A and B are shown apart, each in its own frame.
Chain A
Amino acid sequence: MLKQALVATLLLAALPVAADTPQQLIAGYAAQAASNQPGFVPSAERGRQLYMNRFALADKMPNCAACHTEKPVAPGTHVITGKAIQPLAPAANPERLTSSSKVEKWFKRNCSEVVGRECTAAEKADFLQFLANGG
């Protein structure tokens, strides 16, 4: 019995981390945001504004849309390297928003580069809501 339990535990431990869903990711960031802003509700419209806003810290990369195009369901192009970028919106690219660590990594990199600081949990929830809605 004990052996069986041990085997089951080992099997579970060997499984890859369960994939996240866009809704789970949004809920996670929304919960974090609500701790500072009681009653916080993610807004796709605020997310769109963040996506389109021209922070213009870098000439070639003034906003998200510079590489990801104005429609996140469309494929983009890296403005400096020319590399093709798969669409950001899960509706066009189901691989998007399925890994919390990946989402966090790219928020960290791109917010510091384009926005000039880390994004807040509220901004992340809004942004993902915008993408989940298909832009």
Chain B
Amino acid sequence: MRHSPRLIAIAALCLAALPALADKLRLPATPNAAWQEECTSCHLGYPPSLLTAANWRQMMGSLDRHFGANARLDPGTRDQILVFLEQNASTKETRQSPSLRISETPWFRHEHDEVPARAWSDPAVKSAANCGACHRGAAKGNYDEHDVVLPVAARR
């Protein structure tokens, strides 16, 4: 059985598209235990691939001023978490955030450009930090578009 050159070309294109698929928002299969303990008690565990390594370095270097809270860690724990974040960070420029807020990366803004403003201010949402308000599987790393449910007030 011989494959036509066209079929081979299509297969090659599909393979080339794989890295993009791999860049999904799943949490790493074995999240670092310190990250789990320290970074998921006040907010859900944001996938490290939502920001760049440079962003995470800056974030972990300014934990005493962490979006209005003092989240300082002992240096050993902080460094251990940073390694995990760097290893799983995005290399895409569109996931670089000037403010360190995930919600202000070009990628995030683009992905959420259809979300009405009133959804963000809905009392059930509270803030863009609350991924789970609409992405029901967010705590488990599932951000599939098909599982999104906007709060009732925002849908009206």
Contacts and interface: CB of A to CB of B under 8 A. Distances in A.
Contact of A113 (B41, B44, B70): B70
B70 A82 contact: no
B126 A81 contact: yes
B71 A81 contact: no
Tell me what chain A mostly uses at the interface: helix, strand, loop, or mixed: loop
Nearest to A109: B70
Nearest to A78: B42
Contact of B44 (A79, A83, A109): A83
A135 B134 CA distance: 32
Contacts of A81: 42-44, 126-127, 129-130
Contact of A83 (B70, B71, B130): B130
A82 B42 contact: no
B104 to A, nearest CB: 16
A112 interface: yes
Contact of B133 (A58, A82, A109): A82
Contacts of A113: 69-70
Interface of A: 58, 78-83, 109, 112-113
Closest 7 CB pairs of A and B: A82-B130, A81-B43, A81-B129, A82-B126, A83-B43, A81-B130, A82-B133
Interface of B: 41-44, 68-71, 124-127, 129-130, 132-133
30 contacts: A58-B68, A78-B42, A78-B43, A79-B126, A80-B68, A80-B126, A80-B127, A80-B129, A81-B43, A81-B44, A81-B126, A81-B127, A81-B129, A81-B130, A82-B124, A82-B125, A82-B126, A82-B127, A82-B129, A82-B130, A82-B132, A82-B133, A83-B43, A83-B44, A83-B130, A83-B132, A109-B69, A109-B70, A109-B71, A113-B69
